[in-house]
Amino acid sequence: MKLFHHLLSLPTLFFFFFFFFCFLQETVSIGPLQLTHPFDPLTKQEITLIQTIVLNKYPTKTNHVKFHYVGLDDPEKATVLKWVSTGAATTRNAFVIAIINSQVHELTINLRSSRVLSDKIHSGNGFPTLTVDEQSDALQLPFKHGPFVESIKKRGLNLSEVVCSGFTVGWYGETQSNKRVLRIECFMKEETANIYVRPINGITILADLEQMKIIDYHDNAVEPVPKAENTEYRASHLKPPFGPRLHSFASYQPDGSGFTIKGHSVSWANWKFHIGYDVRAGVIISTASIYDPEVHKSRSVLYRGYISELFVPYQDPSEEWYYKTFFDAGEFGFGQSMVSLEPLHDCPPHAQFLDAYVVGRDGSPQLLQNAICVFEQYGGISWRHTETGIPHEDIREVRSDVTLIVRSVVTVGNYDNVLDWEFKTSGSIKPAISLSGMLEIKAVDITHNDEIKSDQHGTLVSEHSIGVYHDHYYIYHLDFDIDGVGNSFVKTDLKTVEVSEQSSKRKSYWTTSSEVVKSESDAKIKLGFSPSELAVVNPNKKTSTGNEVGYRLIPNAAAHPLLTEDDFPQTRGAFTNYNVWVTPYNRTEKWAGGLYVDQSRGDDTLAVWTKQNRGIENKDIVLWYVVGIHHVPCQEDFPIMPLLSTGFELRPTNFFERNPILKTLSPGIVKWPGCKTP
Amino acid sequence: MKLFHHLLSLPTLFFFFFFFFCFLQETVSIGPLQLTHPFDPLTKQEITLIQTIVLNKYPTKTNHVKFHYVGLDDPEKATVLKWVSTGAATTRNAFVIAIINSQVHELTINLRSSRVLSDKIHSGNGFPTLTVDEQSDALQLPFKHGPFVESIKKRGLNLSEVVCSGFTVGWYGETQSNKRVLRIECFMKEETANIYVRPINGITILADLEQMKIIDYHDNAVEPVPKAENTEYRASHLKPPFGPRLHSFASYQPDGSGFTIKGHSVSWANWKFHIGYDVRAGVIISTASIYDPEVHKSRSVLYRGYISELFVPYQDPSEEWYYKTFFDAGEFGFGQSMVSLEPLHDCPPHAQFLDAYVVGRDGSPQLLQNAICVFEQYGGISWRHTETGIPHEDIREVRSDVTLIVRSVVTVGNYDNVLDWEFKTSGSIKPAISLSGMLEIKAVDITHNDEIKSDQHGTLVSEHSIGVYHDHYYIYHLDFDIDGVGNSFVKTDLKTVEVSEQSSKRKSYWTTSSEVVKSESDAKIKLGFSPSELAVVNPNKKTSTGNEVGYRLIPNAAAHPLLTEDDFPQTRGAFTNYNVWVTPYNRTEKWAGGLYVDQSRGDDTLAVWTKQNRGIENKDIVLWYVVGIHHVPCQEDFPIMPLLSTGFELRPTNFFERNPILKTLSPGIVKWPGCKTP
């Protein structure tokens, strides 16, 4: 779970220049521009300004200052909506979490006046997101720690081939206030870049991040290090034959790409939205609205959408594994963990890229090139019908589909999360999550299932290698503004009706009964147990036939937590207790696992907020949706996992008077005779 | 639900010639070829031969002969597998269901010797699939029926603008043996091609299909016919402005397409499989095997996969709607209802097309041009990892994805079902279903929800138009042969384990317990209520670490029937009582709703077969999976519905020793500078 600085890779450089010279106008990365939207991410200049302001107040000569979070302090929603309608200026404040002389400070800074508006000290439970730099430093400690060097020698391993990785420790009921610590595990990079499948198990190392020293060390048992054979994944290090061979593909958009990006604001087809970036949340979709051909104007759909937290509890209770219950957004920073996308491979041709700025421990801006890509996807069907029912007429109408995809990749150590937001002209938004990367492997002295006598808490995916059971729970923050802020959450149950004798030849049928959910408690839903449709509607806006305009959540198969509710990790990840939650909008309720998640005690989660049981009817509401995956590893996941994908759909439901793309024509799609190999 | 002859549309003709001249080698439709696979569909010549043989035995001079089903009589599995391994010849028999002098005959015909092997008379419940021709004839009857002409006049409608549609009547407990009948409803085509949204309600017509006359007629009530306004969907009949505008797209595969089709056998990347066609089943995927780079050979995965039945029960118990509980495969023929695909719009550039032959009532072959398309889809990621954990190294490996999609469209009257089989180099098979087309509308004298006093059994999607509640239940027949025919069905439950005091800082974790399902009864599963993984494995083949090789079903959100189990339609559609079923392979158990579904009584369904509770351990087994959609219509579905998609994944799970595409390189993907506008 460790991160290093994001360097600009050679392939990226190559493509960068390739594009620069060939197709400047289209694919050169878009750097920080002037403010075009209240949610534009902090620019390089702004981050530098913030650094200056904080260090002016706390000069490093006399203070020890570390920046743990630097982001936009969300303007009040009313002012943002005013900006959307009138362009009226909003505030431009930054929110900073810094550890200054071992105290956690929360600073709010006005970027226009360069003044510190507030400077509070956080005294509650939990610690801020770890910095990349402090992890890097901590991971060097073992190499200067005698007993560790001994342990490596004892195992007959080459210290120069060892690389270490850091893991947050969670919270297991300790009552005294804890120190900021990091568990460290080490791996062999000998003969492979795939360190995660070559753990040096049996050693436990605990480092204090403030004192930056190892405070606990045990060498418990010598386990064999899994072999490197068949673990390498770099093409440059693999021997032929390669295959299967896939045929190459060239594409061309005669009219250029169908979308434009100004700053971070996107317009495409009937959609307008903003792509934000935050070091903790990663990509944030904001102020998404869609053009309604009936009323000749754009109507608001989604004020903000992003992944608020990712909870990954492993399922091995042993001393070396019990604590592995990670919160990738709150502990490691989803945006901080984003990686540069590879043009042509992570994103198809014609993708446009956005850069982002990560913030170093010292408060300095660090460029993350090609952090986000936006591209059009062809190949589907939008709607169709062949009519064979009208004599002497042959009717076939087919509209091929084009969708717009916003993609980023968050790589937290071993796992790569490919995160898509797909926009459809029909009005649907389809977020998708795909998992790749590596399993976390537990080294065991077992080469075959026949040798297994007790629960290994995972699958023997290769010799000496257990792929440990775990879950992935992503929780989306979906702040709908369906045609305005006054929205309600409506649950429509499908219910069997038994028919009374003689009234029909049928004995039964089903019908619907809709309930406007009044409060937070009633909005907590475990999906999959009874058929229902869930929608966010605007009770103040009705269609001509009297249906409330709305959007429906079409979920995928639901996953429910399997830990007991009173277990410590589950208390911290209590936002997974239900698949769906609805809360009244609150500018400060952004992080379902809490603002301070490292060693949090579950006292600032969505589950706690909703105990207030606030009213949610005809209010500005936020829908929270949990996408869960129980992961029982298999051998195909080893040594690197082919994408495993899931997703869901937010679909307009009586939002439009009728199919909004009835009058959309298929794009020209031709096999291009003008294409010549150079 | 009526069908007409499939005519070759002008657009298709245009594209056909366009391709013919431009890209002969790649996109000209592939007609019937010499036998290349035992499951090759019946050729035009074979269908003509069958017609001749049957009519020789039953000369039309003295017999009334109608062909209701003409298809391949599946060869014994053993002989097919022998053909796969050695090329040894198999039998080539046809199975025919014909109504001869009002008796249902089942004939088996040897196509090599041109001999009738057997000729049995079916005396049980239910009738064969309706022919397209008899429906066409029946739908002309009202126009010669005085009372109907009166009813139309009474409503002030123009008879020349009326078009009728036919509906199967189902079974509601009648004990006497029924006649073959068809309910007829009529619609206005005036000012729109969208007849389904302009029903002339209040009239019930029943036609006898054998006597071909109306045997029951009632004009119950005059309901207003919904207006044509906003119902037209033909671009040629819509007024500007059109939009949103989508940018055009050109593509080119420098090395040609990555797959080859010989006859109906496809090879692509690491996959080999066969695309069959049957007038009842539609597309059938057979003998799918994938190349294993470890053992340097192809290994079998799926012997046969197809949609066995589609059950669509509507949820209005009234006299005019109660009977609408359709079985689109068994009553109307899924293959018979396939429509010609539109090049470039139903399928992207570089798609290759396969034709099919439908069989007329008279036994004659009728060409269905471009019935199936096969194409490669680009734009995804196959696997990736960015490694930031190794100091001084910058590692990023991304493999972009190419998948192969086999597509067909089944249009049963109002609904268009877009049916995809997607093959991935990772070994996954992802079947997908997308719904488009029109809703079935009930005309009501209501223009606004405020006027609704009683349950209308649907949504008021437009003035006077109720989109009636209904379900879509597709059941897939998935005959896995995982590395051979001896397979088992394994259910792996995920279970919470509470930790005893002190043994761990955790209070709980989850682990798995696998059960080899012994018999049909234990294999009946309602999905969604408890976490489990379902796999078909080969217990006789283990990986080097001792895992049984297998494939896993990754389902989507499950839908469960809402009709009472004893209701007549549910008895006939009892295969929906569970989402998953497993049966031992039986050559004759092909149709989950029975062989004779029209007016069936549920005595030949999957639910009945499995009452034998046969053993399924280490046997040749078939997995049946139900994909269900409860459809609560919304205004966006009107007048034509944007695609609503669902699907599932069949994913290798310990089938391979490791990721089988570790050594696959990304295809060349470039924005082609060689492309010039002509």
Model pLDDT for residues B205-215, shown as the tens digit of each residue: 999 999 999 99
State how far residue A107 is from chain B, nearest Cα, in angstroms. 30
Nearest to B119 by CA among B130, B105, B129, B102: B105
Interatomic CA distance for residues B464 and B197, integer angstroms: 10
Tokens of B251: 């593509």
* Dihedral sign of CA atoms A105, A106, A110, A116 in order: negative
Question: Which CA distances in Å does B207 have to B172, B189, B588, B605?
Answer: 18, 22, 32, 27
Would you say residue A17 has pLDDT above 50? Answer: no
Q: Residue A333 in contact with residue A276, Cβ under 8 Å? A: no
Please tell me what DSSP assigns to residue B235.
G
Cis preceding linkage at B639, omega within 30: yes
- Local confidence band at B17 (pLDDT 50, 70, 90 cut-offs): very low
Q: Which helix (H) or strand (E) holds A321?
A: none
Which residues of chain A does B574 touch, with a Cβ-Cβ cutoff of 8 Å? none
Do the chains contact at A383 and B641, CB–CB below 8 Å? yes
pLDDT at B254 (0 to 100) = 84
Cis peptide before B667 (omega within 30 of 0): no
Contacts with B437 from chain A: Cβ below 8 Å: 384-385
Q: What three-state secondary structure class fits B152?
A: helix
Q: Report d(CA A265, CA A249) in Å as an integer.
A: 30
Q: How far apart are CA B482 and CA B301, in angstroms?
A: 5
Write the burial class of residue A383 (CB in 10 Å: 0-12 exposed, 13-18 middle, 19+ buried).
buried
Return the residue of A nearest to B663 by Cα. A242
- Count Cβ–Cβ pairs < 8 Å, chain A vs chain B: 622
How large is the average pLDDT for residues B9-35? 40
Q: Is A415 among the residues known to form the active site?
A: yes
A411 forms bridges with which residues in the sheet? A416
Q: Is the peptide bond before A199 cis (omega within 30 degrees of 0)?
A: no
Torsion of CA A373, A379, A385, A391, to 10 degrees: 150
User: What is A417-484 written as a DSSP string?
Assistant: EEEEEEEETTS-EEEEEEEEE---EEE-S-SSGGG--S--SEEEEETTEEEE-EEEEEEEEEEE-TTS
CB-CB under 8 Å, B512 with A632: yes
Taking residues A257-277, what's their average pLDDT?
Answer: 97
The residues facing A669 across adjacent strands are: B249
Helix (H) or strand (E) holding A148: helix A146-154
Tell me whether residues A238 and B663 touch, CB distance under 8 A. yes
User: What pLDDT score does A501 carry?
Assistant: 76
C-alpha B422/C-alpha B417 separation (Å) is 16
Q: Which of B370, B533, B644, B212 is nearest to A632 (CA)?
A: B533
Q: Which one-letter amino acid corresponds to residue B366?
A: Q
Q: Please state the rounded mean pLDDT for residues A241-252.
A: 90
pLDDT tens digits, residue range B62-95? 999 999 999 999 999 999 999 999 999 899 999 9
What residues contact A8, with CB distance under 8 A and at least 6 apart? A16, A340, A367, A369
Tokens 């040096």 -> residue: A200
In this structure, what are the phi and psi dihedrals at residue B650, rounded to the nearest 5 degrees?
A: -105, 110
Separation between Cα atoms, residue B625 and residue A218, nearest integer Å: 51
Angle at A336 between CA A334 and CA A341, to 5 degrees: 90
Q: Contact B636/A630, CB-based, under 8 Å?
A: no
Is B545 close to A448, i.e. CB distance below 8 A?
yes
B25 Cβ neighbours under 8 A, 6+ residues apart = none
Quick one: pLDDT at residue A266?
98
Please tell me chain A's helix, strand, coil percentages from 3-state DSSP, rounded to the nearest 5.
15, 40, 45
Q: Which amino acid is at B226?
A: P
Q: Using CA atoms, how far apart are residues A493 and A496, in angstroms rounded to an integer?
A: 10
The mean pLDDT of B155-181, rounded to a whole number, is: 95
**Looking at this predicted complex, what is its ipTM?**
0.94
CA angle A270, A275, A276 (to 5 degrees): 155
Predicted local distance difference test score (pLDDT) of residue A474: 98
Which residues on adjacent β-strands are paired with residue B188?
B162
Cα distance between residue B449 and residue B454, in whole Å? 11
From the DSSP assignment, how many helices (H) and strands (E) are in chain B? 9, 33
DSSP state of B295: T
Q: B258 to chain A: which residues are within 8 Å by CB?
A: 245-247
Out of A30-39, A647-656, B304-313, B568-577, least confident range: A30-39
Residue A162 vs residues A63, A188, A199, A465: alpha-carbon distances, Å: 35, 5, 10, 18
Residue A116 reports pLDDT greater than 60: yes
Sign of the alpha-carbon torsion through B12, B13, B14, B18: positive
Are A372 and A273 contacting, i.e. CB atoms less than 8 angstroms apart? no
DSSP state of B639: S
Question: Quick one: CA dihedral A364, A369, A375, A377, positive or negative?
Answer: negative
Distance from CA of A108 to the nearest CA of B (A): 31
Interface test with A, best of B387, B419, B654 (most A CBs within 10 A): B387
For residue B672, the chain A residue with the least C-alpha distance is A250
Dihedrals phi, psi of A558, to nearest 5 degrees:
-85, 145
- How far does the CA of residue A96 sit from the closest CA of chain B (Å)? 25
Give the pLDDT score at A500: 86
Residues of A in contact with B508 (CB under 8 A): 562-564, 567, 570
pLDDT at B32: 39
A636 with B660: Cβ contact below 8 A: yes
Q: Name the pairing type of β-strands B181-188 and A181-188.
A: unpaired
Q: Catalytic residue, from A328, A346, A479, A620: name it.
A: A328
User: Which pLDDT value is given to residue A676?
Assistant: 58
In the prediction, which pLDDT does A254 show? 84
Tell me what the pLDDT averaged over chain A comes to.
Answer: 93
Both tokens assigned to B606? 């999957």
CA distance B663 to A639: 11
Contact between B555 and B561 (Cβ < 8 Å): no
Residue with the two structure tokens 């096999």: A671
Beta-carbon count within 10 A of A361 CB? 19
CA dist list (Å): B166 to B44, B326, B416, B426, B545: 28, 11, 17, 45, 58
> pLDDT category, B676, cuts 50, 70, 90?
low
Cross-chain Cβ contact A346/B381 below 8 Å: yes
Question: Above 70 in pLDDT, residue B11?
Answer: no
Q: How many residues does chain B have?
A: 678
Instruction: Using an 8 Å CB-CB cutoff, list chain B residues near A558.
Output: 528, 557
Q: Map out the domains of chain B with their CATH numbers.
A: 44-121 (3.10.450.40), 132-236 (3.10.450.40), 261-428+448-653 (2.70.98.20)
CA–CA dist B26, B256 (Å, integer): 8
Torsion angle defined by CA atoms of residues A501, A502, A508 and A512, in that order, rounded to the nearest 10 degrees: -100
- What tokens appear for B187 in the block? 């619609």
Gap between the Cα atoms of A106 and A95, Å rounded = 7
Q: What is the pLDDT averaged over residues B273-297?
A: 97
- H-only helix segments in B239-348: 328-332
| Opening angle at CA B251, ends B245 and B252, nearest 5 | 170
C-alpha separations of A414 from A237, A330, B386 in Å: 19, 17, 9
Mean pLDDT of A428-452: 97
Supply φ then ψ for residue B598, to 5 degrees. Answer: -60, 115
pLDDT above 90: residue B282: yes
Over residues A295-339, the pLDDT tens digits come to: 999 999 999 999 999 999 999 999 999 999 999 999 999 999 999
Quick one: closest CA in A to B235, which residue? Answer: A663
Q: What is the pTM for the complete model shown? A: 0.94
* Residues with Cβ within 8 Å of residue B440, at least 6 apart in sequence: B196, B314, B324, B414, B467, B468, B470
In eight-state DSSP terms, residue B390 is: S
pLDDT bucket at B19, cuts 50 / 70 / 90: very low
Of residues B22, B469, B666, nearest to A510 (C-beta): B469
State the average pLDDT for chain B: 93
Phi (first) and psi of residue A326, to 5 degrees: -90, 150
Query: Is the pLDDT score of B644 beyond 70?
Result: yes
Residue B24 predicted with pLDDT over 60: no
**Residues A370 and A12: beta-carbon distance below 8 Å:** yes
